Structure 1
Amino acid sequence: MSQRPTPEAPARLTRWEQRTEVPLFGASLLFLAGYAVRVLAPHDAQPWRDVSLILVWSTWSLFLTDYAVRVHLSGLGARFARTHRLDTLVVLLPLLRPLRMVRVYQAVQQRRDRPRLDLYARVMAYAGMTAALLGFSAALSVYHLERRAPDTSVRTFGDALWWACETLTTVGYGDVAPVTFWGRTVAAGLMACGLALLGAVTGSFSSWLIQVFTREDEKRPPERG
């Protein structure tokens, strides 16, 4: 027998998300820092590698707990995974947690009848931050996956960062590229995210400029015939 959400379930879930979004974003930064130490630190760098491992697992368990609470508050049960695919993907791959900022852009799309300049600026800032965090996360992942692969062009973390910048900006010089299956999987995901984030930034910037020009035109005195 399927579980049906109660009428107050969406409100409870919304309140929970509003209260936990900022703390969980801080936890995602800690997760990223721990993962960066695991990837970049030498094997004999103790106790930092052990501390980073504890940090990675503790923050991931926090994300898992948050996901379980969301499932409970939504009242959807197993259907939560189908209706909240981004939340499910993020809890499986915490390095993708910055993608949750894309919801701000969706809010702008729903308010096109009442645009606000400060909201457009916020979207551009969030999209830029998301791109930076995703690019750094992808660079870490690709460096971790590619550095020991034969015929790899990602020999240093600097090479991985350069590749991430090329991919996010859709330039694609081709001088640095992953060669392993999982490295190319990360690259494909970053390409898709780069296109979406670039579209969010350019679209919001264009809308912001249109609103500025419209307000300037409204302030001008009417021309005399």
Structure 2
Amino acid sequence: MSIEAQLSELTAAVKELTEVNKQLLTSLASGLQFTDAVSGSTAEAGKRGRKSKKEDEPANDLAKVVDGDPAGTRYWVNEVAKQVYAELPGNPQPEDQNFKINPADVYLAKKAEFAAAQDAAKNAQAAAAATTTQAAASTAPSATAAPATASDATSAGEAPTWDQTVAALMKLAADPAHGSTAVLTIMKKVDPTATKVPEMKGKGLEAAINAEIQALLNPAGGVDPLFA
């Protein structure tokens, strides 16, 4: 074989070897990419799996019910109105948008918290009302009897004062059944010299005036001596 033929065969062999190497390199690169893709997909799937598990935990908590409640009961908490609501299966959910669904343990804790707050408010109101009542009782004027009249004093066995006597005469004058005529009649009978009621003051006539008033108000035999 000539040298030219040998060089030709060697050149062909080198080309063939070069092509094989290119194919091997391409296959190797493809294999690495496939491995990375598979590894990435597996890792991402693992992450998604773990995330889904965490997302399922609240749902599992919401599925738990308070002892004695049927399965499927949902629990609502209203932080604004300080109220809780247990929605039994088949019952309507609360209309107030401030109600939010919570796990059973949160519902129980809020229920106790709101009840304690309501009791504290009631106790505070009761204490405030009691304090107000006590303050009013301590500052209010004590109940007193109506001003004593001359007739009251005499019937009790005590000598009436001049002020009591004047009050009795004024009461008698305001009585439609007697009026000022009765007062003048008593004045003339007890003290003929007096022309006005103040002129009888200081003469010790209070008892006598009261006796005449009593006679007019409580006539013997039911006949008023003024008109007898």
- What's the TM-score, normalizing by structure 1? 0.18
Q: So what's the TM-score if we normalise by structure 2? A: 0.18
- Between Structure 1 and Structure 2, the one with more strand by share is 2
Judging by fraction of residues, say which structure has more helix: 1
Structure label with greater radius of gyration: 2
Q: Which has the higher contact order (CA 8 A, sep 6+)?
A: 1
